[in-house]
Amino acid sequence: MFELIVWSGAALSLAGLVGLIWCILRVNKARKAGLSDNELRAAVQGVLPWNLGSLFLSVLGLIMVIMGISLG
């Protein structure tokens, strides 16, 4: 039972990490595109909710891993 929680949490953390890497690549691509200041700001603001969601997913997964280890 607790092993399932640990592996589910690890999968969530990995999914969040993939999302964070995607956000970094997306902003880096926008920076290299030579956009104006306002366009770059709009691109970063568009990625921000995805970044926060990915960070939340990673934290939630790590909490599940810690709970599974400590309770199991």
Residue count (the chain) = 72
pLDDT in tens, 13-50: 999 999 999 999 999 999 999 889 999 999 999 999 99
Q: Does the pLDDT value for residue 9 go beyond 90?
A: yes
Question: What is the structure's pLDDT at 72?
Answer: 84
pTM greater than 0.75 (yes/no): yes
Q: Structural domain of residue 44, as residue ranges?
A: 2-71
pLDDT in tens, 58-67: 999 999 999 9
Q: Report the domain count for the chain.
A: 1
Q: What average pLDDT does this structure show over 8-14?
A: 97
29: left (phi over 0), alpha (psi -120 to 50) or beta: alpha
For the chain, counts of helices (H) and of strands (E): 2, 0
